[in-house]
Amino acid sequence: MPQPLNKVEKGTQEAGKKGILVVSFGTSYADTRKVTIEAVEEKIAKEFADYEVKRAFTSNMIIKKLKERDGIMVDTPEEALNRMKEEGFEEVIVQPLHIMAGAEYDDLVEATKAYKDTFKKLSVGNPVLAGPVSYEKAVNALMTQVGKLEKGEAAVVMGHGTHHAANASYAALQNKFDDKELPVYVGTVEAHPALEDVIAKLKKDNVKKVKLMPYMLVAGDHAQNDMAGDEEDSWKTVLKKEGFEVEIYLHGLGENKEYQNIYVENTKEAISGEHE
């Protein structure tokens, strides 16, 4: 659930500057950043017009690359919160664009806790997958981009994967697809289920053609190389070698209007304090 990091007396939270800090890992791909991270930020800004929307990335490597290569300055969450303090913000909602409550999300919550006495109201919103209802929404949202599948066709979605306990979110997501009898198979680059697990299931279910797509906010390095690259070990190459016809869908979840809506809803919950 969203995490209120301090308590606000009812009726006292209207005064003062209000801001929403949208936090993501970030990406150095300008084209995908525009249609994912920036698109979500714009949707949040439009929905919550009385809040000023700020950006932060958690990847120091991407922040450094953007600064050196493009002259683009992006704050870390701590830098952004310090800046918001200096600018006189009194209410701050930190809304992550993370898919699940993994290590990065935990780190963000911990970092934000240090500011609980800095702002009159401070809350951290949910990632995409956070509780039973969220999986239903996530599955329905994904099916809008999967589209109609004929017999023998399936969608294969590539998640990042993590050694954090939150990796179980991928299994929970798969269970939801299975419950709905949808031919969607979830795999990860760096954890379980791996591509070989997915391939075994595809063969068992007599799938001949797969629509391959990233289950990530942006279609960045993992999507463009590990998933859709021409290297021997890319998912596209391996699936083709295994006899599947492969169609590539190279768009991050941030481009999906329904996933953008999920982030807006999560922000709304963090603002309203429905979880308190």
Binding-site residues for Co(2+), please? 160, 190, 222
Cα distance between residue 248 and residue 236, in whole Å: 8
Annotated binding-site ranges = 160, 190, 222
Which residue among 98, 160, 163, 164 is the active-site one?
A: 160
Catalytic residue status for 98? no
* DSSP state for residue 224 in the 8-state scheme: I
Strands 121-124 and 3-4: antiparallel
CA distances from 207 to 111, 184, 219 (A): 45, 11, 25
212: tokens are 């391959």
Residue 11 to residue 240: CA distance in whole angstroms:
60
> What is the 8-class DSSP label of residue 242?
T
Rounded to whole angstroms, the Cα distance separating 30 from 102 reads 25
- Stated as kind and residue range, the H or E segment containing 246 is strand 245-248
Active-site amino acid positions: 160
